[in-house]
């Protein structure tokens, strides 16, 4: 079962991991040939073979932790298709397609949507710009939704109607953190970590009210993409360079799993960007 416990608690309060179902895309065509965020510098060389090796390691980490990983075929001419999190949002077995802001990525939306339709998912084509789990993060019974640089705020109402969950709008103000998943990570049903400086004052106040005990990232860890992380409730897969976050997570009872995705980070993404979670209907009670 998708929600089967894969790490049981031995002492009271020990964190429990649950098996996840992920979709990934091998970076066979990875390159930084254009710039649509501050991290992308086409003049700097990229090493596609290294990108593939680092991505393969990430996939092995997920499988070693007991998670199920499916693959979508990479398409020529779409170097950022490796960032599967942007391809759609999947909640309770329902799929809201992505609709990209920049022309360079527009074709990714239909490619991911076709993958889901071919497998019988209930799908909806988005009416407004949204960049999938890049800006939609599921936690508990709500969805945290980013806006400011990519996803349109009016798409949040569309997601709330389609998924039937509360959607909380969060406004990003630092262009380095252009997607919500670069500035905030879900750790558990009621736990997150985030970088306060990436958000507007109003959004910081919302996060403080909803998650008063959140893990707060410093500048160095945020810039190392430490918040572009994937948690199964116990293990947190994140950039190995984010040493401060790794220490804080360990102190709170999580098991940090550091990975090196330095080549893919040249395009502005790390572990979470490479990982789209496929949430089945029976997972509603989780997050």
Structure tokens given for 252: 């709170």
| Catalytic annotation, pick one of 194, 235, 273, 274 | 273
| Catalytic annotation, pick one of 67, 179, 194, 235 | 179
Residue position matching structure tokens 């994140």: 238
Q: How many CA atoms lie within 13 A of 112 on its CB side?
A: 38
Q: Are strands 215-216 and 191-194 parallel, antiparallel or unpaired?
A: parallel
**C-alpha span between 27 and 6 (Å, rounded):** 29
> 273 an active-site residue?
yes
**C-alpha span between 138 and 23 (Å, rounded):** 16
Structure tokens given for 146: 């980013």
Cβ-based neighbour number of residue 97 at 10 Å: 21
Phi, psi of 241 (to 5 degrees): -75, -15
Q: Are strands 68-71 and 136-139 parallel, antiparallel or unpaired?
A: unpaired
In sequence order, the 6+-apart residues with CB closer than 8 A to the CB of 232 are 6, 17, 18, 19, 20, 65, 67
CB 114 within 8 A of CB 141: no
**C-alpha span between 19 and 31 (Å, rounded):** 32
> 179 an active-site residue?
yes
Known catalytic residues are 179, 273
């Amino acid at each position: 079962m998708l929600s089967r416990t894969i790490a049981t608690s031995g002492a009271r309060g020990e964190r429990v991991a649950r098996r996840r179902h992920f979709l990934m895309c091998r970076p066979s065509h990875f390159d930084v040939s254009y710039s649509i965020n501050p991290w992308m510098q086409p003049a700097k060389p990229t090493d596609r073979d290294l990108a593939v090796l680092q991505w393969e390691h990430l996939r092995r980490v997920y499988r070693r932790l007991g998670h199920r990983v499916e693959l979508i075929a990479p398409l020529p001419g779409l170097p950022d298709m490796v960032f599967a999190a942007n391809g759609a949002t999947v909640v309770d077995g329902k799929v809201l397609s992505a609709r990209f802001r920049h022309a360079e990525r527009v074709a990714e939306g239909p490619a991911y949507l076709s993958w889901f339709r071919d497998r019988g998912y209930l799908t909806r084509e988005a009416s407004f710009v949204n960049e999938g789990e890049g800006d939609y993060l599921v936690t508990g019974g709500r969805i945290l939704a980013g806006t400011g640089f990519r996803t349109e705020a009016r798409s949040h109402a569309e997601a709330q109607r389609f998924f039937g969950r509360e959607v909380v709008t969060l406004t990003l103000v630092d262009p380095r953190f252009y997607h919500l998943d670069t500035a905030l990570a879900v750790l558990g049903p009621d736990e997150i970590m985030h970088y306060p400086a990436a958000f507007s004052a109003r959004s910081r106040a919302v996060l403080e009210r909803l998650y008063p005990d959140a893990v707060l990232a410093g500048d160095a860890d945020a810039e190392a993409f430490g918040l572009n992380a994937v948690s199964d409730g116990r293990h947190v897969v994140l950039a190995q360079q984010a040493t401060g976050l790794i220490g804080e997570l360990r102190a709170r009872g999580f098991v940090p799993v550091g990975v090196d995705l330095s080549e893919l980070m040249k395009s502005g993404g790390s572990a979470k960007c490479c990982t789209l979670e496929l949430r089945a209907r029976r997972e509603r009670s989780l997050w």
